[in-house]
Chain A
Amino acid sequence: MALNDDALNLTPREAVPTAQSVRSQKRRWKPALLLVAILVFGGVVVTKFLSSAIDYYCNVDEVGVRSGCEGTRRLRVQGAVDEGSLKKAAGMTIFSMSFNKKTLDVRYDGDPGGVFQECIPVVAHGRMVNGVFLSDRIEVKHSNAYSTENKDRIDKAEAAACSLPKL
């Protein structure tokens, strides 16, 4: 069959919206909206990184010395719980922690729980009040060393924690 002029007309036709094409257009909005939400959330994460993560804690020996570790502001302080310093009284957990031969007295309202114990490194959140660090949150840092209990070893967890490399 010979082709007529109409058959060679390649001008794009005006699209008649069908249920499928409407669905397809709606579908493209979803990833675009998701992308916008991701960019916003990514911005939040970057802000958190710059404001919190990049300088997560001060060490005990830096409190009141290093910029950003002033005793007048809320701090996160890292140190190892001193052996023999841990006491519990009237719902308070009292201990001292050290880093680089500097010691800080800490009072925590409550029981830190978990694997908190003497000699373990911790990050305490709180404020300095009259030379004592009043903490409302204790985070226990665990080391990258993993070993099993062994009867041939001194297998008390406390002893294991105290035998960890000192901070």
Chain B
Amino acid sequence: MNSIQPFPSPLTTPTGTRASRGLGLVVFLGMVLLTLLGLFFTDEDVVQGSTVRLMYIHVPTAWVAYLAFIVTAVASAMYMWGKQHSLTFDRIAGASAEVGVIFMGLSLVTGSLWGRLTWGTYWQWDPRLTTTVFLFVTYVGYLAVRDLGGSHQQRAKRSGVVALLAVLEIPLVHFSVVLWRSLHQEASVLQPNGNVTMDGLMLFTLLFGVAVFTLLFAWMVLHRQRVLTLADAIDDGGLEAALQERRSEAN
């Protein structure tokens, strides 16, 4: 029997590089500073009190989820319309969607806790909450579609179509508080008239949180897409092994 082409093992092939470890360190330090800013350096809101500190997690997680789903759509488009139909783009799309679903879930949980403390209820079927949960469910569906089987190219084409359709929900979610009557407040920073209705250090902490969470997203997607590359390589290795076995039987 011929020797089987070895394929990389996730146990022996690290997904980290010097650059990604450096990025991880920056994210860690950023998170420490964000915690200090959010819990100790910023003051309470004059109406909401300490509850406002949830904003420094809730808004960045929602932002990262939007960003992740946009990256998924862009990477899917690059796969579909790229000359080489590179699976790297498909794996970036998949990794980004996975991270986005995690952050969208975190945003829903932190929003629900914030809602309990201010609105007096964990959940209401208001426009923002309903469209957000629909977006979350859509991307869980996207991940299920990726796992339906078939070749890597089939997976990439199938999930690429879903990604390009699903991303259209994001404007609907973001502008739901303007389009319909919502319990959720309107945007404080990205207002259509450009106004910012937030005090200085609060605004700085919020924007710092958005920056740190964005770097965390980049770090997570970097590693996850490398893991997906290894998983695909293992699948390909299994196929190659089967072909080698069949060939060896003929000899």
Contact = CB atoms under 8 A, between A and B. Distances in A.
Contact of B43 (A1, A140, A149): A149
Contacts, number: 147
B131 A49 contact: yes
A146 B198 contact: yes
Contacts of A143: 47, 185, 197
A130 interface: no
A67 interface: no
Contact of B199 (A32, A35, A49, A147): A147
B126 interface: yes
Contact of B188 (A112, A114, A146): A146
Nearest to A112: B120
A31 interface: yes
Contacts of B148: 28, 31-32, 35
Contact of B124 (A49, A139, A149): A139
A39 interface: yes
A130 B148 CA distance: 59
Interface string A127-167: 00000000001111111111111000001010011001000
B204 interface: no
A49 B125 contact: yes
A41 B137 CA distance: 8
B134 interface: yes
A144 to B, nearest CB: 4
Interface stretch (B4-12, B16-24, B176-184, B210-218): B176-184
A96 interface: no
B47 A56 contact: no
A46 B127 CA distance: 11
B27 to A, nearest CB: 26
A31 B144 contact: yes
Contacts of B45: 146-148
A3 interface: yes
A102 interface: no
A99 B188 CA distance: 23
B185 A142 contact: yes
A38 to B, nearest CB: 4
B26 interface: no
Nearest to B186: A144
B4 to A, nearest CB: 16
A140 B44 contact: no
A147 B46 contact: yes
A31 to B, nearest CB: 4
Nearest to B133: A45
A56 B42 contact: no
A54 to B, nearest CB: 6
Interface string A56-85: 110000000000000000000010000000
A49 B187 contact: no
Contacts of A114: 117-120
Interface string A1-24: 101001100000000000000000
Nearest to A55: B181
Contacts of A146: 45, 48, 52, 55, 188, 197-199, 202
B127 to A, nearest CB: 5
Contacts of A88: none
A160 B46 contact: yes
Given A45-B133, A53-B127, A155-B46, A141 B119 contact: yes
B82 interface: no
Contact of B250 (A7, A35, A138): A7
5 contacts: A31-B144, A42-B137, A141-B185, A144-B186, A148-B42
Given A57-B183, A113-B120, A145-B198, 14 more contacts: A31-B148, A41-B137, A52-B125, A54-B127, A56-B125, A115-B118, A138-B120, A139-B119, A141-B119, A142-B118, A146-B52, A146-B197, A148-B42, A148-B46
